[in-house]
Structure 1
Amino acid sequence: MNLANIYTSYLKTVRFMQIFGIIFSFFWKEMMLRTPWGRYKRRKQIKAQKQVYSTPERLRFTIERLGPTYVKFGQILADRPDVVAEHLRLELKMLQSKVEPFSNEMALRIIEEELRQPIEEVFDHFDKRCLAAASIGQVYQARLKDGSEVVVKVRRPKIDKKIKLDLYLLRIIAQKFAKTYPEMAAINIVGVVDEFAESIHKELDYYNEAANMLRFGTLFAQSEWVYIPKVYMEYTTRRVIVQEKIVGITPDSNDELMAAGLDPKAVASNGANVILSMIFRYGFFHADPHPGNMFIMRNNVVGLIDFGMVGVLRPRDMEFLANLSLGFARRNETSIADALITLCDIRYFDKRDDLIFRIHLLLQKSAHIPTDKLDFSKMAQDCINIITRFGLQIPGGIFMLIKALATIQKVAEHLDSQLPFTEMVKPYAKELLAKKYSPKKMANSLFDLLKSYGTLISNLPADVGEIIYKVKQGQIHHKVSFDDEAMFRRLVRNFGFQMGYAIMLVGLFIGSIILQVTKVDLPYSNFLIWISSALIFMAIIRWLFKKK
């Protein structure tokens, strides 16, 4: 074992001990609180009107102590009703990822290392005070030599190594959990951890964020609703990203917007249309459109920042959302249920009627509410909650989608309480389905289908010839496996006994007839005929009335 492996093992051990200590402290306190002394102390604190925290709150504090990796994982779990109970999800939503900034000197050193030249040679002015800090990086203001105002985001030192260690340990914990509780396989906790690992690795690499910005910039280059800041690729690396500074007002306060001569209702409409366009037209959307990632510019244009977390939808996901939207608008529980089943990639679902009934009950709760007043994101989340109770697995990207819709709906309705968000979704859903069933699309699908059948027919003689040849050569093998081998053995044994019994009875009956014909003087031949006939009759009756 070389020194690098020894050092890595040392780091894993140290980090594991830190995590173990924090988790052990949490469980020890929880255990003590459930003792008579703990309950007495709790009642005493309540009487003294002191702050008493619940178990979910204490769990949240513990996750925050574990560090940014676990905080981000907790935030993702907060949007996964298939993994976490509702009361825990509400608490996990309160996790804060804000952390203390690291030293400005270290940040400047990283920037110079990444750009391979002194700060003064790249920037005309660089404000060495940290503008904002987050779990992965922090931001500074600067001005390039050509006079462009920019923001510089720099990744925390050694954060990638720390996160890799945390992910390694987190996956071990998930595997142990899945092995200990196999009955919870539908949750697929290891898959959730792997999804999270892929997402956070992308956030660690600023090239991914730069690529997202360039793609959104191309998609919305002609849009009047949104502005995507320019990214300076010549000054961007895996640890540093330089992008255009956006000047505007965050959409937190209607009064501030109106004081600046902006229209909150137009801002709400523009913001909603931007995210809906991303989702329904491109299947590529900003996954965290909260007010902190928005700046409202002149003419009510929405400027977006922070593209580290984006969502990508498959055509099936987009079709699901369109059918779900129109199902809500038409109050059609069958189309909603079918959309959910299709999303889970299931062709036949034996509990479909039960699912339709559950959706029907959900729609009945809002039967007297006009369509334009429906809470679209909440109803979508309720449908996801229903389908997860049937043990079906939802694609991970859908949870990110629901979160993005809920966030932008909340922001938009804060600016305009009368905004008909559900009605705004309908045109996008109809446009998506119209494209899918357009004559051109249908013609292309038909052409592909005919091409597949043509290939099948042309290859059929050769395939059949190959199969026959392999059969003759004894090269065809078919492997059959059974989940429950003991049950299969019992089944084969019972079948063998029954077949033997049937052969014996039939043989006895035929033999007694032969004896009767050839040896008329045998006294027991009639007895054998009657006995065998009776036994055969009883076997037939038993078979007819046997429980299936």
Structure 2
Amino acid sequence: MHIVNIYISYLKMVRASQIVWVLAKHSFSELFAHSRLGKRRRRKNKGEVHKHVYTTPERLRMTIEELGPTFVKFGQILADRPDMVSERFRVELKKLQSRAEPFDNNTALGLIEKEMNAPIDEVFAEFDTTPLAAASIGQVYQGRLRSGEEVVLKIQRPFIENKIKLDIYLMKFIARKFAKSYPELAAINIVGLIDEFSETIVKELDYTFEASNILRFAMMFKDDPTVHIPAVYTKYSSKKLIVMEKVEGITPDTPQALRDAGLDTHQIAVNGANALLTMILRHGFFHADPHPGNIFILPGNVVAFIDFGMVGALTPRDMNFLADFAIGFARRDSDLMSRALLVLCGKKFFEHEEEMKFEIHQLMMQYAGIPLELMNFAGTMQKCVDVIVKYQLQIPSGIFMLIKALATLEKFAGTLAPDLSLTPVILPYAKEVVKVKYSPRKVAAQLYDTLTGYMNFIRNFPNDMSEILYKLKEGKIKHDIHLADDDLFVRTVRQASRRVAYTLIVLGMFVGSILMIAFEQPYGTSRYGHFLLVVASLLILFQLLKWLFVPEKK
């Protein structure tokens, strides 16, 4: 057991040294770029086309890419978090790609056989040993089962789980140290973000979660002929291996190829929009990465989704927010949009509510006189979230995934059918959510819960009051005071203590110097007393001037 702990500690030290080396290397490059010599070289190379001068966001992206898949995925999440990262860094982080070199085929085939607990020849009639694709976590192959189905397999890279968990441990350690050293950045909550990221990536490492997601989406669309969800073969799948139906079609970012195949691009856009909105507003469970690489168009304008490792889940509050926001957007009602945003943030009373409403109203004024079909829904939602972030309000993390999915959908629909607007498509779904929210049955259930709560309160009140009075009489009631900001309290106490100590020392010097001068005989201390008196007088004068002319820090 001790040997295992020693080995784990050794791995942590090795990985930590690698991270430190990469950070130090790129930090030195950044420092040099901002030095006088670096600025001189930048001016010298400005006119040379072949010499690219890297910006700070570009260096950050290159640093993350060199640190490996864990940091790349974390950077991709940060790219969609305007509450964490400024726009110029987010633009660069969106360029992060989970590129990876394929690992050894023999190793991959051995892992596949180990996970299936059977030789490849026994399960597959045909198997292509050339990888179809290679990603940071897994490697993809294709084949045909002995029962005749064309399938793709995704096998996890060897030891990748241990590497990622080690990176997450180090990220958490660094984040906690950083948060402790800079408590003023607590609003960013970097530790909470890493905890959230940890849960997401650990689920992505377990392919049984992806298999479960596929089965759930298959149930959602079992009666919808316009959407195809690939079958998953749970018999051969495991935590590190997933075997799925092979989907062959045309990607939606090639409109001409779709038209050449006799498909209707407008209908494809409608089908794709309806599919994603059904996921979001009817089930609260959606594909969180619907980019063209994860969507294929099949004959009959059928939209097929693949890669279900990243999904989003919405609470009823999130769904109500989206519905109210969509209706407010369609009506150009900035007050309704503002209320929806505040409810989403859990704020009933907000001191800057009027200022926030004014900013959202000004934002909606850009659509004055513009038809609903030309209004950018996802873009406006992102700008409204930016306003919320400006006021440092907390937004559920699932909303950022939702905005990303809606923005991708809007871009996807705009490519296939430029005349199709997302707002008119989303309105029926939004109204359905609101209708359910205020249905007589729902209202009656809420009223019943409220009345039950009041009845319990009335029934228990006499006993609770008697218990309080008894404990008060016995002197057993204690009141604990919890300060909202312990660090601020400690800093205030320390500052006050220093001021008291400083005042006592200066007054002591002043009084002591006077006594030394007064009782100079027969000890000969007059000179030393005069010196202390001058020093103490100067310190007192300095403090008086500081109090009079230097404003107090808030």
Q: Into which bin does the TM-score normalised by the smaller protein fall?
A: 0.7 to 0.9
C-alpha displacement at 1:139, in angstroms?
1.0
Q: Which residue of 2 aligns with 1:498?
A: none
Matched, 1:242 2:243: yes
Measured after TM superposition, the shift of residue 354 of structure 1 is: 0.6
2:41 maps to amino acid: K
CA distances 1:135-171 after superposition (whole Å, capped 9, x unpaired): 1111111111211111111111111011011111111
Matched residue SS, 2:131: coil
TM-aligned CA deviation for residue 175 of structure 1: 1.6
Distance 2:465 2:58 in 1: 66
| In 2, Cα distance between equivalents of 1:75 and 1:480 | 41
Q: Return the letter of the residue paired with 1:44.
A: K
Q: Which residue of 1 aligns with 2:230?
A: 229
1:24 pairs with 2:24: yes
Q: Summarize deviations over 1:351-384 as a string: whole Å, max 9, x none.
A: 1001001101111122232211111111000000
1:418 counterpart SS class: coil
Q: Paired residue for 2:79?
A: 78
1:244-288 deviations in whole A, cap 9, x for unaligned? 111211112111111111111111111111111111111000000
> Per-residue deviation at 1:424?
1.1
Paired letter, 2:21: G
The residue number in structure 2 matching 1:97 is 98
Which letter does structure 2 place at the counterpart of 1:460? Answer: F
Question: Is 1:446 aligned to residue 436 of structure 2?
Answer: no
User: After the TM superposition, which of the residue ranges 146-155 and 470-479 deviates more from structure 2?
Assistant: 470-479
Measure the CA separation in 2 of the matches of 1:461 and 1:161.
Answer: 58
- Distance, in Å, in 1 between the alignment partners of 2:63 and 2:470 is 66
What is residue 410 of structure 1 aligned with on the other side? 411
Equivalence for 2:328:
327
Between the aligned partners of 1:425 and 1:376, the Cα distance in structure 2 is 10
Given that 1:377 and 1:405 are in contact with CA atoms closer than 8 Å, whether structure 2 keeps it comes out as: yes
- Structure 2 equivalent of residue 116 of structure 1: 117
The aligned counterpart of 2:551 is none
How far apart, CA to CA, are the structure 2 residues paired with 1:30 and 1:73? 21
Residue 381 in 1 paired to residue 382 in 2? yes
Confirm or deny: 8 A CA contact 1:206 1:240 kept in the other structure: yes
Aligned to 1:4: 4
Shift of 1:481: 4.2
Asked if 1:175 corresponds to 2:153, the answer is no
1:504 equivalent in structure 2: none
Deviation at 1:456, TM superposition (A): 2.3
Secondary structure class of the residue paired with 1:47: coil
- Contact 1:174–1:190 (CA under 8 A) maintained in structure 2: yes
SS in 2 for 1:340: helix
Instruction: Give the match for residue 161 of structure 2.
Output: 160
1:247-258 aligned at under 5 Å gives the runs 247-258=248-259
Where 2:346 maps in the other structure, the secondary structure is coil
Corresponding residue of 2:214: 213
Measured against aligned partners, the alpha-carbon deviations of 1:97-149 in whole angstroms (never above 9, x if no partner) come to: 12111111111111111111111111222111100111111111111121111
**Equivalent pair of 1:373/1:422 in contact (CA under 8 Å):** no
User: Equivalent residue for 1:419?
Assistant: 420
Measure how far apart 1:194 and its partner are: 0.9
Question: Residue by residue, what CA displacement relative to the aligned partner does 1:470-499 show, whole Å, maximum 9, x if unpaired?
Answer: 333332222234564868xx9xxxxxxxxx
CA contact (8 A) 1:290 1:407 kept: yes
Identity %: 53
Distance, in Å, in 1 between the alignment partners of 2:387 and 2:175 is: 25
Distance 1:226 1:473 in 2: 69
Task: Quote the Cα distance in structure 2 between the aligned partners of 1:191 and 1:155.
Answer: 27
Contact 1:153 1:241 in 2 (8 A): yes
Partner of 1:126 in structure 2? 127
| Correspondences of 1:484-523 after superposition (within 5 Å) | 484=489
Q: Does 1:41 align with 2:57?
A: no
Task: Indicate conservation of the 8 Å contact 1:124/1:144, yes or no.
Answer: yes
Is the deviation greater in 443-452 or in 136-145? 443-452
The amino acid that maps onto 2:242 is I
Q: CA deviation at 1:393?
A: 1.2
Letter in 1 for 2:110: R
Secondary structure, aligned partner of 1:273: helix
Q: Within 1, Cα distance between the matches of 2:197 and 2:393? A: 20
Match of 1:300 in 2: 301
Report how far residue 41 of structure 1 moved.
1.6
Q: Give the structure 2 partner of residue 283 of structure 1.
A: 284
Could you tell me which runs of 5 or more consecutive residues in structure 1 were left unpaired when the two chains were aligned: 491-548
SS at the partner of 2:367?
coil
Q: Which residue of 2 aligns with 1:494?
A: none
Counterpart CA distance in 2 for 1:60 and 1:481 is 41
Amino acid in the other structure paired with 1:158: F
2:467 aligns to what SS in structure 1?
Answer: helix
Aligned counterparts of 1:426 and 1:180: Cα–Cα separation in 2: 48
Instruction: Provide the residue aligned with 1:186 in structure 2.
Output: 187
| Residue 519 (structure 1) aligns with | none
Partner of 1:365: 366
Distance 1:365 1:313 in 2: 30
What SS does the corresponding residue of 1:150 show, helix, strand or coil? strand
Output the CA distance in 1 between the equivalents of 2:481 and 2:60. Answer: 47
Q: Deviations over 1:383-436 (max 9, x none)?
A: 000000101111111111111111111111111111111111111111101011
CA RMSD of aligned residues (A): 1.7
Partner of 2:517: none
Counterpart contact for 1:186–1:392, Cα < 8 Å: no
Q: Match for 1:437: what amino acid?
A: Y
Aligned to 1:531: none
Q: Does 1:465 align with 2:457?
A: no
Q: Which residue number corresponds to residue 13 of structure 1?
A: 13
TM-score (normalised: structure 2):
0.86
Partner SS state of residue 232, structure 2: coil
Aligned mates of 2:386, 2:249 — CA distance in 1: 38
